[in-house]
């Protein structure tokens, strides 16, 4: 039985600005998020492209984060027919806040405190949940929320993603040699890694009942697979990627032939794109159109699930499947040719992939009808 959970239209704060319209236009034009300096903290290394939110609209301080989360979450809440949702925050961590304050103003909070504060600000009574499963954090939130709504544990849900950059995040990816100074180039022959981005994003979920609004998309099914084999053996796993995509389709009651297009994880690293390509070809024959959004936003880590889902749905609502920013030259070893210009959106099902460092893999199947 499919989940049949309505997805709200969502709300975004990205380097493109606040709101869906600016993001939709940027994705239509296949633009990268604006390059800004990292004024919030000193850096000693040149990292190349970094997609940072406008500091006049977002400050990575406790008060700035609280205000930013409230504004985006409140916008997403307005789309709900059923109030008092279950709040789930997805993030890879909030180290940026302590680093912003500095050693003389130690911040002793954690991401759980942020979720508690947001629930209080929004007047939500259900105990909030914080998920931190690396880059699949807020994608996992969709799976948990849809299952809870289907069981009638909660009348609705609100998923919020938060990610802002910090020296330790930048240095960590730099030390792993995973940063492409030219920006993420998904599935490109010359891809050389990812670039990092920031966002606050939110999206509501509620059951499809006679009283539910019918705009937006429908979350039909999804799955999570954890393929961790140890603390250090975490190379991208094509078998696990195939398994999670296949399981998501079966959960949704769909076949590969039902999928109009795929929003890939599309990380831009050599190993991850190769593994995802293997999994895609194993599941799909022929392969439907594929795209990736990370060339535009950068990789927003734990918030990428809700950011990319909301942005992808917003593009469908605007009538197009977004192209793949950063892709120019096909890699003959992958046999993947992401779309480079917008395609007309079609009624039907779409598959969305989100793969996390640490072998946490999530795939969602959404339905969309104009």
pLDDT, position 313: 97
- The answer to whether 216 and 20 are in contact (CB under 8 A) is no
Return d(Cα 165, Cα 59) in angstroms, integer.
11
pLDDT, position 42: 57
Q: How many CB atoms lie within 10 A of CB 288?
A: 17
Kindly write down the DSSP assignment for every residue of 163-199, as one continuous string. E---HHHHHHHHHTT-B-TT---TTBTT---B-BB-E
Tokens representing 360 are 């946490």
Tokens representing 108 are 């002793």
- Mean pLDDT of the region 168-183: 88
- Higher local confidence (pLDDT), 181 or 214: 181
Return d(Cα 231, Cα 100) in angstroms, integer.
29
pLDDT bucket at 234, cuts 50 / 70 / 90: low
Tokens representing 211 are 């009283």
Return d(Cα 322, Cα 26) in angstroms, integer.
10
pLDDT, position 132: 93
The single residue listed with the structure tokens 């998920």 is 131
- The answer to whether 51 and 170 are in contact (CB under 8 A) is no
Query: Is residue 24 helix, strand or coil?
Result: helix
Kindly tell me if the per-residue pLDDT of 236 is higher than 90.
no
- Mean pLDDT of the region 59-86: 92
Task: Collect all residues with Cβ–Cβ distance below 8 Å to 334 and sequence separation of at least 6.
Answer: 187, 273, 274, 277
- Mean pLDDT of the region 239-244: 97
pLDDT, position 170: 87
Mean pLDDT, rounded, of the chain = 91
Could you tell me the domains of the chain? 5-368 (3.40.47.10)
Return d(Cα 107, Cα 3) in angstroms, integer.
40
Tokens representing 338 are 């992401």
Question: Which range has the top average pLDDT, 136-140, 353-357, 358-362?
Answer: 136-140
pLDDT bucket at 230, cuts 50 / 70 / 90: low
Return d(Cα 369, Cα 37) in angstroms, integer.
41
Kindly tell me if the per-residue pLDDT of 277 is higher than 60.
yes
Percent of the chain whose predicted confidence (pLDDT) is above 70 = 91
Return d(Cα 230, Cα 206) in angstroms, integer.
37
Kindly tell me if the per-residue pLDDT of 14 is higher than 90.
yes
- Mean pLDDT of the region 261-281: 97
- Higher local confidence (pLDDT), 348 or 175: 348
pLDDT, position 81: 84
- The answer to whether 16 and 33 are in contact (CB under 8 A) is yes
The single residue listed with the structure tokens 């997609």 is 51
pLDDT, position 109: 62
Percent of the chain whose predicted confidence (pLDDT) is above 90 = 73
pLDDT, position 18: 94
Query: By C-alpha distance, which of 359, 313, 299, 317 is closest to 219?
Result: 313
Name which of 37-41, 167-171, 259-263, 307-311 the model is least confident about: 37-41
Return d(Cα 190, Cα 270) in angstroms, integer.
9
Q: Which residues pair with 262 in a beta bridge?
A: 290, 351
Kindly tell me if the per-residue pLDDT of 325 is higher than 90.
yes
pLDDT, position 365: 98
- Higher local confidence (pLDDT), 357 or 327: 327
**What does pTM read for this prediction?**
0.95
Kindly tell me if the per-residue pLDDT of 10 is higher than 80.
yes
Return d(Cα 140, Cα 135) in angstroms, integer.
10
- Mean pLDDT of the region 196-218: 87
Query: By C-alpha distance, which of 40, 76, 85, 46 is closest to 58?
Result: 40
Pairing of strands 360-368, 217-226: antiparallel
pLDDT bucket at 39, cuts 50 / 70 / 90: low
Cα dihedral sign, 181-202-135-257: negative
Return d(Cα 172, Cα 92) in angstroms, integer.
13
Name which of 158-172, 196-210, 221-235 the model is least confident about: 221-235
pLDDT, position 96: 82
Q: Give ∠ CA 91-297-66 in degrees, rounded to 5.
A: 40
Kindly tell me if the per-residue pLDDT of 322 is higher than 90.
yes
pLDDT, position 3: 85
């Amino acid at each position: 039985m499919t989940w049949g959970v309505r997805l709200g239209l969502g709300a975004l704060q990205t380097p493109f600005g606040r709101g869906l319209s600016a993001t939709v236009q940027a994705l239509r034009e296949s633009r990268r998020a604006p390059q800004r300096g990292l004024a919030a903290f000193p850096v000693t290394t040149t990292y190349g492209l970094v997609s940072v939110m406008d500091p006049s609209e977002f400050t990575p301080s406790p008060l700035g984060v609280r205000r930013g989360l409230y504004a985006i979450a409140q916008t997403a809440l307005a789309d709900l027919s059923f109030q008092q949702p279950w709040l789930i925050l997805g993030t890879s961590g909030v180290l940026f806040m302590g680093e912003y304050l500095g050693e003389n103003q130690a911040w002793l909070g954690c991401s759980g405190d942020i979720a508690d504060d947001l629930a209080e600000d929004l007047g939500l009574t259900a105990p909030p949940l914080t998920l931190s499963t690396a880059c699949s954090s807020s994608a996992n939130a969709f799976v948990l929320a849809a299952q809870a709504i289907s069981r009638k544990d909660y009348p609705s849900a609100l998923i919020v993603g938060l990610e802002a950059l910090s020296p330790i995040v930048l240095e960590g990816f730099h030390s792993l040699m995973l940063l492409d100074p030219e920006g993420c180039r998904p599935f490109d022959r010359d891809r050389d890694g990812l670039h990092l981005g920031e966002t606050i994003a939110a999206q509501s979920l509620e059951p499809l009942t006679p009283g539910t609004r019918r705009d937006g998309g429908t979350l039909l099914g999804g799955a999570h697979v954890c393929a961790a084999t140890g603390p250090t053996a975490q190379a991208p796993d094509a078998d696990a990627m195939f398994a999670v995509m296949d399981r998501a389709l079966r959960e949704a009651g769909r076949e590969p032939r039902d999928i109009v297009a795929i929003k890939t994880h599309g990380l831009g690293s050599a190993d991850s794109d190769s593994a995802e390509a293997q999994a895609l070809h194993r599941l799909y024959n022929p392969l439907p159109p594929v795209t990736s959004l990370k060339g535009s936003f950068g990789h927003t880590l734990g918030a990428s699930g809700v950011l990319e889902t909301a942005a992808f749905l917003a593009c469908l609502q605007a009538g197009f499947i977004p192209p793949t920013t950063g892709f120019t030259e096909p890699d003959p070893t992958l046999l993947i040719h992401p779309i480079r210009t917008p395609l007309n959106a079609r009624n039907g099902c779409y598959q969305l992939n989100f793969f996390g460092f640490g072998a946490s893999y999530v795939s969602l199947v959404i339905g969309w009808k104009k």
